[in-house]
Structure 1
Amino acid sequence: MVLTNVLVCATVLLVAATLLPMLQTTLWWVRALEFPRVQIVSLQALTFLAALGLGSQSGLVIMLVLAAAMALQILHIWPFSPLCAKEMQKAQPGAAQNQVTCLAINVLMENTNHAAVLAEIDRLDPDVLFLMETDAAWNTAVTPALSGYPTVLREIKDNYYGLIFATRLKVRSARVSYLSVEDTPSVLAELEAPDGTPFRFVGLHPKPPVPGEDTEGRDAEVAYAARHARDTDLPVITMGDFNTPAWSQISHRFKAVGGYLDPRVGRGLLSSFDARRWWMRMPIDQFYATEDVSLISFQRGNFVGSDHFPMSAKIRFNDPDTARQLNRRVTALPDAEEARILQAIERQGSRLSQIIRPTTPPLL
């Protein structure tokens, strides 16, 4: 009887953890339940096996309820299984001058393993580098590695939201921008690939859902950045620690509004956080690209002492028609939902225009 009661309580909690994220709310504790879907479905499976051992009608009811809850969780995770169709098929590498390598690392502000981060930068030798959580100590540590980059943007902070953006590509414009009312800077840049093809880069690191931090600011920042793809006919790529998993509501909306594709779909989770605890890992460091971008490779990097793994992508832009043949279109949002999101973006733009902040001058 005691075991039955324990399993009933566990089932109620696990079902609630499955159903609550379906709500349209920005409450931090609800949105936080989107993160550990793999962990939740694993607990559901263990509880299912325990109920199997009851051999009673109560056990059967528990198993049926848990089976339905597991199915719902798996529906969210399934697109990131290697058994699912890929959104971005790999393209042939082609000539070296047509390739662009991008690397994003959340270095973890208190991480002192500067040498590991420098080694990863040296190993991948990226054309575009985006570092997050960079304070004064990290700025000093990585400065030697930035000597080969003609363009470097720094927004150094001690609040876990500093950033450094560096590129050796030709820069049409680049600036640090604040896309939310929070103190979380982003990078907006227009660059040229080595063959002269122009494209846009967006680097994001919004706040996560934690006690006292609902996700309105994060969602507004991510949606506002999605519009950066809508405002141009140029190819667009976006990287960073989104502080939301690849299967979350806001990730799907970001992709639909901006017309982005996710190379994780059909390839596996490539979970980037928590790098130090395998049982807590989830895919929250993202790379997205518009359908006119060809993917050559997408990979998780080496452990660098941070709680995040580096994420890198190698891409090319010179053949958009081939890219569209290799890539699968993102399913559009219903018109009513898309209109609602675009209205929210406009409201966010109005709020941002009323906030006066010192800004990094654009590089032209």
Structure 2
Amino acid sequence: MLRIAATVLFWLLSLAIATVLTASLLPFVDTRWWLVRLLDFPHLQFGIVTLALLLLLPCFSRHRPRAVLALAAAAVVALGADALVLWPYRPSAHLATASDACPADRRLAVMISNVLLTNRQSQTLLDEVRAERPDLFLAMEVDDWWDRTLQPLSADMPYGATKVTGSYYGMRLFSRLPLSDTDVRFLAGRDTPSIVTTVKLRDGEDATFLGIHPRPPLVGQSALPRDAELYAAAQILRGHEGPAVMAGDLNATPWEDAVQRTRRIAGRVSPRQGHGYVYSFDAKSWWAKWPFDQIDYKPGFTALSLDRLAPIGSDHYPYVVRLCRDPFVTAPAAVPEGEDDRERVDEADRAARAAAGSAAR
């Protein structure tokens, strides 16, 4: 009986290692299929599971040494794939910048929060915003109720923009700093608004801010419409000289191919590269902990800190990044788009507009 139980456990362990190996490697496949792209999210979770399975293998090494060696090799490959993806998003002490070294007139604090349309714990969020005192605060999934409830923040942040859609994609921007040329845009033919505006920094310099919340790839759908929205936002930032910030719930992780391509196109930097993984979703799950909420910037800004705040009743945590502007550092010239980047952007744009046309009919 013990021999049978051991055999069953060994085959279950083998199946588990084969599964995590497949799941860890599939995201490297060049496809927009929703299932493969969703596997981009849990690389950290895959790595933890793989490590646990690897530690169990010595229990079977006495009776199945060759099989255990093969399984160990497979587990190491899976672990290496996950580590390769996550390595750039580890904390790096040498990139830390002393907050007190940045003059007050060169600081910019940006806070974002996907409030969750059905959430009604508004006072918790209001208290968080007042405690953090951000210069810019972007709230997403805002409906008429949230729009009215957040209105008291206008006393300290009188500038802003609002677009309530009646869906999960309404948003409102509050600003302590003067704004100009504010525009609500629907990128890539989709019904999800984005806010583009110019922020007057404390030292008098203008900076571009773009708030975005694309739809996630859903079951049975391609990720291309989401990607097209990200690429359209990147093209906007590419066309603006000077400092710029892009913020929002991207429904994508920083290491996804589409997100990395938008960074190349726009010349953006992720503060998580140096400050760590810092998950912002899912506040209601013990295992699904992914960095969906992102605040990226063009070089010339430096991230002083990034923090996940206390839960507010939403499935997302509020997220705040504090930046320092170095007026003597300008963003490098935009890197010419490679043929592959251009083809991907065009393909995604066609897919997004086709989807929007089908929805309209």
Q: Quick check: TM above 0.5?
A: yes
Secondary structure of the residue aligned to 1:100 is strand
Match of 2:110 among 91, 102, 109: 102
Secondary structure of the residue aligned to 2:126 is helix
For the pair 1:299 / 2:302, whether they are aligned, the reply is no
**Which deviates more from structure 2 when the two are superposed, residues 333-342 or residues 297-306?**
333-342
Identity across the alignment (%): 26
> Does the Cα contact within 8 Å between 1:255 and 1:330 map onto a contact in 2?
no
User: Which segments of structure 1 move beyond 3 Å, counting only runs of 4 or more?
Assistant: 83-86, 88-95, 329-334, 341-357
What is the CA–CA distance in structure 2 between the aligned matches of 1:351 and 1:234, rounded to whole Å?
Answer: 34
Structure 1 residues 17 and 85: alpha-carbon distance in aligned structure 2, compared to 1, 3 A threshold: farther
> Does the Cα contact within 8 Å between 1:34 and 1:248 map onto a contact in 2?
yes
TM superposition score normalised by structure 1: 0.87
What is the CA–CA distance in structure 2 between the aligned matches of 1:101 and 1:265, rounded to whole Å?
Answer: 18
What is the CA-CA distance between 1:32 and the residue it aligns to? 0.3
Match of 1:74 among 77, 80, 83: 83
Structure 2, unmatched stretches of 5+, are 1-6
For the pair 1:236 / 2:244, whether they are aligned, the reply is yes
What is the CA-CA distance between 1:355 and the residue it aligns to? 11
> Does the Cα contact within 8 Å between 1:154 and 1:165 map onto a contact in 2?
yes
**Which deviates more from structure 2 when the two are superposed, residues 332-341 or residues 31-40?**
332-341
Superposed, 1:1-364 pairs within 5 Å as 1-55=7-61, 56=64, 57-83=66-92, 86=95, 89=97, 93-317=101-325, 319-321=327-329, 335-344=338-347
Structure 1 residues 175 and 127: alpha-carbon distance in aligned structure 2, compared to 1, 3 A threshold: same
Secondary structure of the residue aligned to 1:280 is coil
What is the CA-CA distance between 1:197 and the residue it aligns to? 0.3
Structure 1 residues 281 and 220: alpha-carbon distance in aligned structure 2, compared to 1, 3 A threshold: same
Secondary structure of the residue aligned to 2:190 is coil
What is the CA–CA distance in structure 2 between the aligned matches of 1:349 and 1:320, rounded to whole Å?
Answer: 39
What is the CA–CA distance in structure 1 between the aligned matches of 2:196 and 2:301, rounded to whole Å?
Answer: 18
**Which deviates more from structure 2 when the two are superposed, residues 23-32 or residues 294-303?**
294-303
- Summarize deviations over 1:318-361 as a string: whole Å, max 9, x none: 5242x77xxxx89979833233245447758987998999xxxx
Secondary structure of the residue aligned to 1:29 is helix
> Does the Cα contact within 8 Å between 2:190 and 2:356 map onto a contact in 1?
no
What is the CA-CA distance between 1:210 and the residue it aligns to? 2.3
**RMSD between aligned alpha carbons?**
2.9
What is the CA-CA distance between 1:85 and the residue it aligns to? 6.5
Secondary structure of the residue aligned to 2:274 is coil
Structure 1 residues 85 and 214: alpha-carbon distance in aligned structure 2, compared to 1, 3 A threshold: farther
Structure 1 residues 353 and 30: alpha-carbon distance in aligned structure 2, compared to 1, 3 A threshold: closer
What is the CA-CA distance between 1:67 and the residue it aligns to? 0.5
> Does the Cα contact within 8 Å between 1:117 and 1:304 map onto a contact in 2?
yes
The aligned counterpart of 1:362 is none
What is the CA-CA distance between 1:156 and the residue it aligns to? 1.5
What is the CA–CA distance in structure 1 between the aligned matches of 2:213 and 2:202, rounded to whole Å?
Answer: 27
Secondary structure of the residue aligned to 1:261 is coil
> Does the Cα contact within 8 Å between 1:118 and 1:142 map onto a contact in 2?
yes
- Summarize deviations over 1:267-325 as a string: whole Å, max 9, x none: 2111111123343211111011101223333222222121111111222435242x77x
What is the CA–CA distance in structure 2 between the aligned matches of 1:320 and 1:286, rounded to whole Å?
Answer: 25
Structure 1, unmatched stretches of 5+, are 358-364
* Letter paired with 1:145: L
> Does the Cα contact within 8 Å between 2:275 and 2:305 map onto a contact in 1?
no
Structure 1 residues 39 and 276: alpha-carbon distance in aligned structure 2, compared to 1, 3 A threshold: same
What is the CA–CA distance in structure 2 between the aligned matches of 1:288 and 1:73, rounded to whole Å?
Answer: 23
What is the CA-CA distance between 1:24 and the residue it aligns to? 1.8
> Does the Cα contact within 8 Å between 1:114 and 1:141 map onto a contact in 2?
yes
What is the CA–CA distance in structure 2 between the aligned matches of 1:355 and 1:128, rounded to whole Å?
Answer: 36
What is the CA–CA distance in structure 2 between the aligned matches of 1:265 and 1:186, rounded to whole Å?
Answer: 25
What is the CA–CA distance in structure 1 between the aligned matches of 2:168 and 2:125, rounded to whole Å?
Answer: 17
- Summarize deviations over 1:63-106 as a string: whole Å, max 9, x none: 111111110111101111125874x8566553323322211111
The aligned counterpart of 1:361 is none
> Does the Cα contact within 8 Å between 1:197 and 1:318 map onto a contact in 2?
no
What is the CA–CA distance in structure 2 between the aligned matches of 1:308 and 1:293, rounded to whole Å?
Answer: 25
* Letter paired with 2:338: D
What is the CA–CA distance in structure 1 between the aligned matches of 2:124 and 2:55, rounded to whole Å?
Answer: 42
What is the CA-CA distance between 1:119 and the residue it aligns to? 0.3
Secondary structure of the residue aligned to 1:265 is helix
What is the CA–CA distance in structure 2 between the aligned matches of 1:258 and 1:52, rounded to whole Å?
Answer: 48
